[in-house]
Structure formats: structure tokens, C-alpha cells
Structure 1
Amino acid sequence: MLQNNFTMITEVHLLGFNNLYPHNILLFILFFIIYCLTTSWNFLLIVLVATIRNLHSPMYMFLTQLSLSDIIMTNSISPILLRVLVDRQTIITFTGCLAQYYFFSASLGLDTMLLTVMSYDRYLAICNPLRYNAIMNYLFCLKLIISSWLVSFSAIIKYVVSISNLNFCGSNVIDHFFCDLTPLLALSCSDTYVVQIEVTSITIPSVFPFLFIIVSYCYIVFTILRIPTVTGRQKAFSTCSSHLTVVSIYFVTLLCTYMVPTRGKSSTSSKILSLLYTVMIPLINPLIYSFRNTDIQEAFQKTFIKLAACIDITLACKT
């Protein structure tokens, strides 16, 4: 397609891990296993919270939304990643590239919103337990969830549309395994200053959820330290340890990826850091909540016991 004497880009060429070609088969097997585990584990968490009455509480409502967000994240990244590993490099349409970036960015924002909401939930549960049930009722939780989804998916639309209105010409090669913002804008032959300003205008407010989480946990720590008994302190801390672990891994990874200067950082190290929050975190989140939360462990045990009993009854009927 010709426009303004330039050949406009209609396809994007993803190089993936072009310096690791000899290991592509092993990487494909590894990431395929991770993809299957991530999708099934997050889906299982959603089913458990929906079916086990003991898990019908605000914290687990937010956890199901976090699992849904992680499913969106992994399904926007992993299928293309696996295809890149099979083909050693792959071509996707420019529209598909923009769609991948949209769902990736929206799920990243949704994770941030939900982790912030969950920190507020833990703050109320520990610092203001007498008013917790009155404040964190079903309607308020529903409003927080809907607001998180609307804010995350609507905030990204504006500058995705702005990106689509740029002229993309010349090279269509991205030395990455997915369509991230920086390599995508590098393909443009237009002035990207306005788009970068728009992105910055959205990125700066995203610091406030991080600050809100820090302040919330400062209050939580001070409240826990005032509990007179060791058992009481351990019990109070156990209610927020899973969330604190997830928050720490999530924000440290993002800070290392986007806040550390890119100068002197190789493309391989950038791709590895990107793998941490696009592929590994959606897998790690449900594992942390499963292994560090006694309620979910008990729910897993009850479910597997019921499943085993059903299988035994089915086999007994067949014999």
C-alpha cells in the first residue's frame, strides 16, 4: 500500500530469540508447559472460588479477577511466543500486533488496579476489622471490580488509536517476541512525540497505585507490630503474606524492565525481563496463593477428595 511516497507496513516480522536458535525446541517445550499450567491453574482457582462457599469473601473475589487478568495476559503473549519458537521467526499482521499490545497493556493495568484494591482490602481487614464487613460488602466489591476493568481497558484505547494513526514505513522487523511499545514506535516514520506524551500522561498516574500499596502496608505493619502476642502477629501477617509476595515480585519486575535505563542493556536481557512479567508472573501468582494460603489448600484437598470419590464410584459401577 502506497501513501505519501512510502510503502506502508501491513505486517510485522518478530525475530523472537534469534540468538538462541539451537535451543528453540527446548524453549518451546518449556514455554508450552508453562502456558498450559498457567491457563489451567488460573482457571482452576476461578472454579474453586466460585464453587467453595468458604472462599466467598472479598479477597477471593478479587483473586478470581486477578486470575482472569493473568489468563488474558498469557493468551495475548504465549501463542505468538510459541509460534515464534516453532518458526524461529514469525510474521503477524500490523492490526494483530496492535491488538496484542492492547490486550497486553490492558491486562498489565488491570493487574495493577486489582493488586491496589487487594491491598486496600487487607488494610481494612487488619487495621479496621470492626468496620470491614460493613465497608467491604458485595456491592462495593462489585463496584471496585467493574471500575478496575473499565479503567484498565478504556485508558489504553486512546493511545492505541493514536499509534494506529501514525505512518509506519520502511523496516517491519521487531527484535522481540511480542509487540511492545518501544519497538513498535521505532517502526514509525512519523513524529511519535505526541504519542509518547500521551503514554507518559497515563504512565505517571500509574505510580499512585504503587504508592498507595506502600502506604497501606506501612499501616498494616505498624498495626501488626502493636499486637501483643506472637501468635496474633503471625496470624495477622499470614492473611496478607501471599498478596505482599505477589506485589513485590510484580512491581520489582516492572521497575527493572521499564525504569532501569536501556543503555548498556542487551536485547537478550530485555527479552528475559519481559518474559518474567508476561509469562512467569501469570504462572507464579496462582502458585503463591495456592501454597501460602491454607483456605485454598483445604479447598484443593476437598475438591480432589470429591473427584477421587466420584472416580471410584464410576469405576465401581462399571465393574
Structure 2
Amino acid sequence: MVHGNTTSDFILLGLFDHTTAHQFLFGVVLAVVFTSIIGNGLIVLLTHQDSQLHKPMYFLLSQLSLMDILLVCTTVPKMAHGYLTGEKSISQAGCGLQIFFFLTVGGGECFLLAAMSYDRYVAVCHPLRYATLMSWQMCLTMALGSWLLGASDGVMQAAVTLSFQFCSRLEIDHFFCEAPTLVHLACGDTSAFEYFMYICCVLMLLIPLSLILTSYSLILAAVLRMRSTEAREKAFATCSSHLAVVSLIYGAAIFVYMRPTSYRSANHDKVVSVFYTILTPMMNPLIYSLRNKEVKEALRKCLRQCGALKSD
């Protein structure tokens, strides 16, 4: 009989080996993370500093950027530290905190993307009522609600996951603590928790995704009725780029969290997790913000001010 072990640290096996190819990939990941933090940090700074960006749409974008920064900082530093030093252990408390922060920002992003799609729907389909339907009170409520719903999911899943007794082999074949991976290490029956996790995923993933698809369907219907070809092409380009990010985030999350246990593969989960924890946070500023004319103008203004300060 294998006795549960509730005192030993977990061991994160990580993402890379110390081969030349993996060392190169590790360098690429660090470059992507650095770019992500700089890009998202710039969006947060610009939306705070420039009065032209003090609008609900840009406030929601700044919240998305803040979540992306926290998402990267939750997963990558521990992975990088373990790879560089060889110290791959993580306490159960540290593992619980990773699960909590990861699900808080990951779940929060799901609801925030739904709020952003609603904002775009109102802007395109009801422009004359935009100030009423997307008031600052509504905007703040949606942002705060996204954070709170993500945090509630994080608290529940972290608490339940760490309440299990774990077997003597505490090696996590992943680069961060993720609830589905930890469930495999539990000694007892986890079917009830897996069902609970499935219900959470329906609430956190499928409901916001249905709202996003509904919003963009209504937007596309409105776009098709536009007489201006230029306006139609611009709207199509915006919607397609937004939907590409949504597909990447939701597709990867559904693949990891809603796939039957019998079909799980540690290597597949790690590769998919890289997409929505490392690559997507880098893409969001490029797709949602830095191609926007007002954001680019705010960036030019910021650079001119920095140049003027240096010349003084």
C-alpha cells in the first residue's frame, strides 16, 4: 500500500533539457517573455498617461495587458530558475500559489475577452448609445467581475487540488503547477474533482466563448451591411485578428482542461500550455493595441516627450 505524502516538495521536471537545441529554445522563450513584458507594460503605461486613451475600450485593453504580465510572471521565472540552477523543487504552498495566480489571471482573461467583445459589439452596432451602454460604471464592473471570477476559480481549484494526499513520487512533468497535472499524482479517487473541474471549465470557458462568438457574429452581420468597402475591410481585419487570439486562448485551455483523462499526454499539455502562457501574452499587444491609430499616436507622443527630456 502506498501512503500519502503531504510534507515533501514537488519536483517540476521543466520544459527543456540541456542539449544545444533546448538551450537555444530556452533563449527564445526568454526573448519572447521579455518582449511580452515590455509590450504589455507599454500598453498599461500609455493608457494611464495619455488622456486620449481614457476610454472604456483602452481601459479593458490595459487590464488584459496587466493580466498577461502576471500570467507570464507566474509561470516563467520558476521554470527559468529551475533550468539555470538545477533547483527544481517547489513547496506545496508555492504550488498552490501558482495554481491560484494562474487561474486568477487565466480565468479573468476569459471573462475580460467576453467584455471586450461586448464593447466592440456596442461600438459597431449601437454607436449612438455607446456612452450609455458602455459607461465607466459598466466598464469597471466588468473588469472587477473578471478579476473576482478568476480569483474564485483559483481559490477553489488550488484548495481542492492540495487537499489530496499525494503518492511518494511527487514529480510533476510540467514547467509549472497546473491542476490537471497534479491530479495525476493523487493517491485516492479524484473522479469527483475531475467532474467539478469540468463544470468550472464550462462556466469559465464555454459561457464566455459563446458570448464572444455571439458578439462577433452580430458585428459581422452589421459589417456586411456597410456600404463602404474600406470600412468593411477594416472591420473584417479587426474581427479576424481578435478571433485568432480568442481561438488560441480558448482552444488551448479547452484542450488542457476539458480533455478526457485517458487522452492526456504530458508532452502535449506542456506544448499547448506554452502557447497560452508564453506566446499569446506577446501577441495580444500587437493584435489588440499597437496596430491601433490612437495607441500608435500615444506612443509617438510618449517617445517625443522622452526625447525632449533627454535633450534638456
TM-score using structure 2 length: 0.91
User: 2: CA distance between counterparts of 1:290 and 1:146?
Assistant: 21
Residues 1:239 and 1:264: Cα distance change in structure 2 (over 3 Å): closer
User: 1: CA distance between counterparts of 2:101 and 2:266?
Assistant: 23
Query: What is the CA deviation profile of residues 252-293 of structure 1, one whole-angstrom value per residue up to 9, with x for unaligned ones?
Result: 333444456676775434322111111111111112234421
Report the AA paired with residue 105 of structure 1: L
Query: What is the CA deviation profile of residues 11-34 of structure 1, one whole-angstrom value per residue up to 9, with x for unaligned ones?
Result: 011111355644443233222222
* Contact 1:9/1:170, CA 8 A, preserved across alignment: no
Q: Does 1:273 align with 2:251?
A: no
Q: Does 1:297 align with 2:296?
A: yes
Select the residue among 47, 50, 53 that pairs with 2:48.
Answer: 50
Residues 1:112 and 1:127: Cα distance change in structure 2 (over 3 Å): same
Select the residue among 145, 149, 152 that pairs with 1:151.
Answer: 149
Report the AA paired with residue 58 of structure 1: P
For 2:124, the equivalent position in structure 1 comes to 126
What is the DSSP-based 3-state SS (H/G/I as helix, E as strand, rest coil) of the residue aligned with 2:185? Answer: coil
1:7 Cα deviation (Å)?
A: 3.9
For 2:23, the equivalent position in structure 1 comes to 25
What are the residue-to-residue correspondences of 1:247-286 with 2, within 5 Å?
247-258=246-257, 267-286=266-285
What are the residue-to-residue correspondences of 1:72-91 with 2, within 5 Å?
72-88=70-86, 90-91=88-89
Moved more, 45-54 or 261-270: 261-270
User: 2: CA distance between counterparts of 1:229 and 1:267?
Assistant: 49
Moved more, 261-270 or 242-251: 261-270
How many pairs align?
310
1:251 Cα deviation (Å)?
A: 2.4
For 2:232, the equivalent position in structure 1 comes to 233
Moved more, 250-259 or 39-48: 250-259
What is the DSSP-based 3-state SS (H/G/I as helix, E as strand, rest coil) of the residue aligned with 1:253? Answer: helix
User: 2: CA distance between counterparts of 1:195 and 1:117?
Assistant: 29
For 1:140, the equivalent position in structure 2 comes to 138
Residues 1:264 and 1:114: Cα distance change in structure 2 (over 3 Å): closer
* Contact 1:166/1:188, CA 8 A, preserved across alignment: yes
For 2:161, the equivalent position in structure 1 comes to 163
1:239 Cα deviation (Å)?
A: 5.7
1:85 Cα deviation (Å)?
A: 2.1
1:38 Cα deviation (Å)?
A: 1.6
* Contact 2:92/2:162, CA 8 A, preserved across alignment: no
Report the AA paired with residue 226 of structure 2: I
Query: What is the CA deviation profile of residues 115-163 of structure 1, one whole-angstrom value per residue up to 9, with x for unaligned ones?
Result: 0000001111111111111111111111111111111101331232122
* Contact 1:18/1:89, CA 8 A, preserved across alignment: no
Residues 1:262 and 1:8: Cα distance change in structure 2 (over 3 Å): closer
What are the residue-to-residue correspondences of 1:217-228 with 2, within 5 Å?
217-228=216-227
User: 1: CA distance between counterparts of 2:238 and 2:20?
Assistant: 45
What is the DSSP-based 3-state SS (H/G/I as helix, E as strand, rest coil) of the residue aligned with 1:166? Answer: coil
Q: Name stretches of at least 5 consecutive residues in structure 2 with no aligned partner.
A: none
Query: What is the CA deviation profile of residues 215-234 of structure 1, one whole-angstrom value per residue up to 9, with x for unaligned ones?
Result: 11111101011011213323
- For the aligned residue pairs, the C-alpha RMSD in angstroms reads 2.3
* Contact 2:68/2:105, CA 8 A, preserved across alignment: yes
Report the AA paired with residue 147 of structure 1: G
Residues 1:32 and 1:275: Cα distance change in structure 2 (over 3 Å): same
* Contact 2:4/2:187, CA 8 A, preserved across alignment: no
Moved more, 122-131 or 35-44: 35-44
Residues 1:169 and 1:256: Cα distance change in structure 2 (over 3 Å): closer
- Identity of aligned pairs, percent? 34
User: 2: CA distance between counterparts of 1:276 and 1:264?
Assistant: 19
What is the DSSP-based 3-state SS (H/G/I as helix, E as strand, rest coil) of the residue aligned with 1:28? Answer: helix
User: 1: CA distance between counterparts of 2:85 and 2:172?
Assistant: 15
Residues 1:155 and 1:265: Cα distance change in structure 2 (over 3 Å): closer
Runs (4+) of structure 1 exceeding 6 A deviation are 261-265
Residues 1:186 and 1:239: Cα distance change in structure 2 (over 3 Å): closer
1:243 Cα deviation (Å)?
A: 3.1
Report the AA paired with residue 279 of structure 2: M
* Contact 2:16/2:23, CA 8 A, preserved across alignment: no
User: 1: CA distance between counterparts of 2:213 and 2:130?
Assistant: 20
Structure whose alpha-carbon radius of gyration is higher: 1
For 1:317, the equivalent position in structure 2 comes to none
User: 1: CA distance between counterparts of 2:89 and 2:26?
Assistant: 17
For 1:35, the equivalent position in structure 2 comes to 33
